[in-house]
A = this chain, B = another copy of it.
Amino acid sequence: MGIFSKTCEYALRAVFFISQKTSEGGRVSIKDIAIGIDSPEHFLAKILQDLSKRGLVQSAKGPNGGFFVDETTLKRPVAEIVEAVDGNGIFVGCALGLKECSEKDPCPLHNQFKTIRDEIHSLLRTTNIGNFNEELILGINSLKR
Residues of A within 8 A of B (CB): 1-6, 9-10, 12-13, 16, 78, 86-87, 89-90, 93-99, 105-110, 112-113, 116-117, 119-120, 123, 127, 131-132, 135-136, 140-145
- Give the most central of A2, A5, A140, A141: most B CB within 10 Å: A2
| Residues from chain B with Cβ under 8 Å of A113 in the complex | 123
Copies in the complex: 2
Q: Are B135 and A108 in contact (CB under 8 A)?
A: yes
**Contact between A87 and B123 (Cβ–Cβ < 8 Å)?**
no
Q: Is the CB of B107 within 8 A of A143?
A: yes
Across the interface, A3 reaches (CB within 8 A) one of B9, B95, B108, B110, namely B95
Q: Can you give 17 A-B contacts (C-beta < 8 A)?
A: A1-B5, A1-B87, A2-B93, A2-B94, A3-B3, A3-B90, A4-B96, A4-B97, A12-B95, A12-B96, A16-B108, A98-B142, A105-B145, A107-B143, A108-B135, A112-B127, A116-B123
